[in-house]
Chains A and B, each alone.
Chain A
């Protein structure tokens, strides 16, 4: 099997999962598609190095995370994030409940990535630290702070989740 065929096999098996992760990060399916496309193209270009990684899926997620963070850095500071756009509706109608994804969308990009990698992708603290290239202590402290923020945003009816 050639390198290209190996890549195609891996990518076919994991593209959907990568897009889901991308969606959780950006809350926009079209952007998630673009980020997945970018990540897969970068993975293709680095395939020979990638296959030497201990965990190829984690390697692909790392590329996706970087594509997402690069995208965030490029964005204009004036551009509104989806969470902010939703906020007035919650204020006007208390019956509308903030979902977990909505609350996640209100976290800063890196904090959101940490929560998603820890609790959706089930990566260990050390793996998240490796993907984001930050010390493990930072991952731990940021996780604690992010969970506290989520608790605060989600309100009393979901506090039980984090009791």
Chain B
């Protein structure tokens, strides 16, 4: 019976004249790629929105925060000054080289100043294995242990002059790089003046570039967002902070390889 049914179906089909198939495969690939791209963009947008909410919720509408617009751009979050920095009246803010600074003298940023600021901003935990990039780049590395064993973080500051002021809103971007354990999660703040602060949350400990022992990431995206959105980061930093960092790290630090 089953064979008869099969034969009848095939006989009926044999009488059909199907139209040309067309490029269904090429179309599927192009549509699929477009869907993937849109999903990635949506994921980044959702991540940024979550970070904005988390950052705002963590600090609340403090006096130094600009009033929230009724329709906050999804990719933007108000710039957040860290708690130790006092609220700054508008008149005391100076704009120098396009970088907004709260108070005091500015100096060229140094890797040690970055390490100092990073350790200040990190949630409670143990830090160690401080290292810097070669060629005096503003790119530093440390190990961070919040109780789950050491994990690695790298921070980088750069600026591509856009000719405009620093502004009060930073664009936050979260990117996941699944094939790169050093940059498993890349949280980045970009200000209108072209200053970019990037924090890489690694899932491995790659200090010397030869071994990649796995490590548990211990910093959330929201916590990382609060760190990179701190207004003290820049290619120039508060002079007092730079001097304090130089005293804290008096000897040359190891150089990490990429």
Q: Name A's B-contacting residues (CB within 8 A).
A: 4, 7-8, 11-12, 15-16, 19-20, 23-24, 29-30, 33, 36-37, 40-41, 43-45, 99-101, 104, 115-116, 118-120, 122, 147, 150, 158, 160-163
Partner of A163, one of B1, B22, B24: B1
Determine chain B's interface SS by DSSP, over half rule.
helix
**In whole angstroms, how far apart are the Cα atoms of A11 and B19 in the complex?**
18
Provide a sorted-by-A list of 11 A–B residue pairs whose CB atoms are within 8 angstroms. A7-B29, A16-B21, A33-B22, A33-B24, A41-B31, A45-B32, A45-B36, A118-B2, A120-B10, A147-B1, A162-B1
> B residues within 8 A CB of A41?
27-28, 31-32, 35
> B residues within 8 A CB of A7?
29
CB interface residues, B 20-42, toward A, < 8 Å: 21-22, 24-25, 27-29, 31-32, 35-36
**In whole angstroms, how far apart are the Cα atoms of A40 and B24 in the complex?**
8
Instruction: For residue B12, give the distance in angstroms from its CB to the closest CB of chain A.
Output: 4
**In whole angstroms, how far apart are the Cα atoms of A101 and B31 in the complex?**
32
> A residues within 8 A CB of B27?
37, 40-41
- A101-B32 contact, Cβ under 8 Å, with A16-B21, A40-B24: no
Partner of B19, one of A4, A33, A120: A33
Q: Judge whether A29 and B29 touch: CB under 8 Å.
A: no
- A100-B25 contact, Cβ under 8 Å, with A29-B18, A45-B35: no
**In whole angstroms, how far apart are the Cα atoms of A33 and B27 in the complex?**
12
> B residues within 8 A CB of A16?
21
- A101-B25 contact, Cβ under 8 Å, with A41-B35, A120-B6, A162-B5: no
Chain B residue nearest to A40 (CB atoms) is B28
B136 within 8 A of A: no
Instruction: For residue B80, give the distance in angstroms from its CB to the closest CB of chain A.
Output: 38
> A residues within 8 A CB of B12?
99-101
> A residues within 8 A CB of B29?
4, 7-8, 44
* 12 extra A-B contacts, CB within 8 A, seeds A41-B31, A41-B35, A44-B32: A7-B29, A23-B16, A23-B18, A36-B24, A40-B28, A43-B28, A44-B31, A45-B32, A100-B8, A101-B9, A160-B4, A163-B1
- A40-B4 contact, Cβ under 8 Å, with A45-B35, A101-B12: no
**In whole angstroms, how far apart are the Cα atoms of A117 and B121 in the complex?**
61
Q: Judge whether B4 and A161 touch: CB under 8 Å.
A: yes
Q: Judge whether A119 and B5 touch: CB under 8 Å.
A: yes
> B residues within 8 A CB of A100?
5, 8-9, 11-12
Partner of A37, one of B2, B10, B28: B28
> A residues within 8 A CB of B5?
100, 115, 119, 147, 150, 161-162
